DNA sequence: CCAAGTGTGTACTATATACGACACATGACA
DNA sequence: TGTCATGTGTCGTATATAGTACACACTTGG
């Protein structure tokens, strides 16, 4: 059910085709984990790594950290902190937007970005 | 640093003054945990309980679950699931709203609620 | 004055999380 | 053909999470 491993493997292998520096060993080395551990992660033998490791891995593979964290079944700690500061407000907002089409959410994002508050 | 315990205790004690059914033992009984454990939670001797227990406790004490979860340093699993389905969209939105005044966020909430999408 | 209820100290536990260390077989390539 | 790099199997571990179980001393209401 967790696509984190296979997805990671696919991305790394694609990079490896053009650049030998994307072997399990070398990527693991730059990310700061053991090669055997990365191998297990990619095959889904173990659950996705911690947030810190996931983010390092995402950056290493040129991926969006938030997307990688989502695949890992997590939500970035900094986002959680923002929500926790005003729980009712954000809980309402997010639940409101649950069924909204991407288009509508995007409109809100832009509106807020250009907002006059 | 965690206000979860003391806050819970204060709320429960206020309720206890008017209704003896809000003793540590009885509340723990209805919530489904051991009295000694609730006692430790309230004094901050242990970290806040799991999400499930926190929500039960919140309901028992007539509090907002999201607020209680926030005090416990957590964000409701259902909110996280919503975010994980569209990580980029929601990550952007939430970070945009980080510094926005309550007023602005509320306006967005209402706008979405009455929205025509 | 005593029986029931109150909160709490101590000790224990089961499961999950998040890895590290090392050895090994296979394959590429010079 | 030998060396180097590749991925992976096995084993071990430290820390956190989320509690239970039981006994104990104090208080209070009838």
Residues A93-107 pLDDT 10s: 999 999 999 999 999
According to the model, what pLDDT value does residue B47 have? 97
List CB contacts (< 8 A) between B73 and chain A: 84
According to the model, what pLDDT value does residue A112 have? 81
Across the interface, whether the CB atoms of A91 and B97 are under 8 A apart is answered no
Residues B89-114 pLDDT 10s: 999 999 999 999 999 999 888 888 88
CATH number of the domain at B4-71, out of 3.60.21.10, 3.40.50.300, 3.40.50.2300, 1.10.260.40?
Answer: 1.10.260.40
Across the interface, whether the CB atoms of A90 and B98 are under 8 A apart is answered no
Q: Is B77 on the interface with A (CB under 8 A)?
A: no
- Residue ranges per domain, chain B? 4-71, 86-113
Predicted TM-score (pTM) of this structure: 0.94
- At A43 the three-state DSSP class reads coil
Close Cβ partners of B48 (under 8 Å, ≥ 6 residues apart): B2, B4, B5, B41, B54, B71, B72, B73, B74
DSSP secondary structure letter of residue B63: -
Instruction: Using the predicted structure, report yes or no on whether residue A47 has a pLDDT greater than 70.
Output: yes
**Residue A1 confidence class, pLDDT cut points 50, 70, 90:** low
Instruction: Using the predicted structure, report yes or no on whether residue A60 has a pLDDT greater than 70.
Output: yes
Q: Is A69 on the interface with B (CB under 8 A)?
A: yes
According to the model, what pLDDT value does residue A5 have? 98
**Residue A2 confidence class, pLDDT cut points 50, 70, 90:** confident
CB contact burial B74-98 (16+ within 10 A = b; e otherwise):
bbbeebbebbbebbebbbbbbebbe
Show pLDDT as tens, one digit a residue, over chain B (117 residues): 689 999 999 999 999 999 999 999 999 999 999 999 999 999 999 999 999 999 999 999 999 999 999 999 999 999 999 999 999 999 999 999 999 999 999 988 888 888 766
Angle between helix A35-42 and helix A4-18 axes, rounded to 10 deg: 120
Q: Is B94 on the interface with A (CB under 8 A)?
A: yes
Q: Is B67 on the interface with A (CB under 8 A)?
A: yes
Q: Using CA coordinates, name the residue in chain B closest to A67.
A: B87
Mean pLDDT on A26-54: 98
Which of B7 and A108 is assigned the larger pLDDT? B7
Angle between helix B77-85 and helix B87-96 axes, rounded to 10 deg: 110
Nucleotides of C under 7 A from a protein CB: 5-10, 17-23
According to the model, what pLDDT value does residue A113 have? 81
How many Cα atoms are found within 13 Å in the side-chain-facing hemisphere of B83? 30
Q: Would you say B69 and B55 are in contact if contact means Cβ atoms under 8 Å apart? A: yes
Q: For the CA atoms of A26, A27, A30, A34, what is the dihedral angle to 10 degrees?
A: -80
Classify residue A50 as left (phi > 0), alpha (psi -120 to 50) or beta: beta
According to the model, what pLDDT value does residue A109 have? 85
What are the distances in angstroms from CA A48 to CA A31, A44, B84?
A: 14, 8, 15
CA end-to-end distance (rounded Å), chain B = 43
CB contact burial B39-57 (16+ within 10 A = b; e otherwise):
bebbebeeebbebebbbbb
According to the model, what pLDDT value does residue A58 have? 98
Instruction: Using the predicted structure, report yes or no on whether residue A114 has a pLDDT greater than 90.
Output: no
Nucleotides of D under 7 A from a protein CB: 5-10, 17-23
Across the interface, whether the CB atoms of A105 and B93 are under 8 A apart is answered yes
């Amino acid at each position: 059910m967790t696509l984190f491993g296979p997805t990671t493997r696919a991305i790394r292998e694609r990079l490896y085709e053009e650049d030998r520096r994307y072997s399990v060993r070398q990527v693991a080395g730059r990310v700061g984990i053991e090669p055997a551990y990365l191998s297990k992660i990619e095959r889904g033998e173990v659950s996705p790594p911690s947030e810190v490791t996931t983010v390092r891995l995402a950056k290493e593979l040129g991926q969006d950290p938030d997307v990688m964290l989502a695949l890992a079944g997590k939500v970035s700690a900094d986002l959680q902190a923002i929500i926790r500061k005003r729980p009712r407000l954000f809980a309402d907002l997010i639940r409101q937007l649950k069924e909204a089409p991407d288009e509508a959410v995007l409109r809100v994002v832009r509106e807020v970005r250009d907002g006059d508050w």
